[in-house]
Amino acid sequence: MKVIFLDVDGVLNSEHSHSIDKNDNWMENEVSDTHIQWLKKIVDETGAKLVLSSSWRHYHPIATGNETITDPLFKVLDRKLREVDLEILDITPDLMGKMRGLEVQEWLDTHTDVKKYVILDDDVDFTAEQKSFFVNTTFKYGLTEILASKAIAILNS
């Protein structure tokens, strides 16, 4: 199995997507359609599954124990992913403030069927061993065509 460890802020949104004025429906800008399309391209070209490593994972049904999503921002994320036939397979564990790389490693340690993975994140708190699987986005631009191509190359290598 191939896996994408997915952050949201700075990956699926950006400074540009936040600056767009959509009247009173600001939540729509929290998950950019353009960035979702780059994520879709990665999944389509690699067959990878999505594992949410973002702090947004705390609102996922796996974390809340509720089948119904109640957080309005997470509803936007879930809807926009589903609109392009994407869904979140799982979430990383919360290790109570430890670096995100350790949360990713904990997930990998319990899922031994993972053959390839990539980390899409604007933070850099990953282990030295994870650096070659890490695609560093920025809040200024989020996920771009160039970064999507890099993720595809990592997953298909």
In this structure, are residues 28 and 65 in contact, taking their beta carbons and an 8 Å threshold?
Answer: no
Place of tokens 């990539």: 118
Residue 97's pLDDT is: 80
Mean pLDDT of the chain: 92
Centre a 10 Å sphere on the Cβ of residue 100 and count the other Cβ atoms it contains. Answer: 22
pLDDT for the residue 19: 66
Residue 29 has pLDDT above 90, yes or no: no
Q: What is the rounded CA–CA span in Å between residue 45 and residue 58?
A: 28
Tokens of 153: 């190359």
Q: Who wins on pLDDT, 155 or 17?
A: 155
Q: Give CA–CA dist 119/104, Å, rounded.
A: 9
pLDDT score recorded for residue 51: 98
Burial 56-80 (b: 16+ CB within 10 A, else e): bbebbeeeeeeeebeeeebebbbeb
DSSP state of 51: E
Tokens of 55: 């702090």
pLDDT digits (tens, 9 = 90+) for 62-108: 888 888 898 888 999 999 999 999 999 999 999 988 899 999 999 99
> Which whole number is the average pLDDT over 45-58?
96
Residue 9: predicted pLDDT: 94
pLDDT of residue 107: 97
pLDDT at 5: 98
Residue 17 banded pLDDT, cuts 50, 70, 90: confident
